[in-house]
């Protein structure tokens, strides 16, 4: 089940599924290492909706507007899906 980054819970680990924003913002996120399949942890949520996330060992602040354009999945669900795929590949 996918959700927006802004809907994630503090302290949980997620995997980025998709980024649906303008090209300029996508390029900036790429430079920061925020790309599809990257693991992130939500460290803090501010009252105004901004988030502090941990990406590849670095803390990064993300506005609510940007967080609304990033789709994430829970890390555990991604592992389960990969396990199911690997079972089929072994056959």
pTM higher than 0.75: yes
The lowest-confidence range among 36-40, 41-45, 50-54, 82-86 is 82-86
User: pLDDT by residue (tens digit) across 60-77?
Assistant: 999 999 999 999 999 776
Average pLDDT, the chain: 87
Scan for tokens 């949520």, then name that residue.
45
DSSP per residue, 9-65: PTT-EEEEEEE-S-HHHHHHHHHTT--TT-EEEEEEE-TTS-EEEEETTEEEEE-HH
The per-residue pLDDT for 27 is 94
């Amino acid at each position: 089940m996918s959700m927006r980054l802004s809907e994630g819970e503090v302290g949980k680990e997620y995997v980025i599924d998709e980024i649906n924003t303008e090209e300029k913002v996508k390029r900036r996120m790429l430079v920061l290492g925020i790309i599809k399949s990257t693991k992130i942890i939500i460290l803090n949520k501010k009252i105004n909706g901004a988030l502090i996330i941990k990406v590849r060992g670095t803390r990064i602040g993300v506005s609510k507007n940007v967080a609304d354009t990033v789709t994430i999945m829970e890390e555990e669900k991604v592992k389960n899906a990969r396990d199911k795929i690997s079972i089929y590949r072994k056959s």
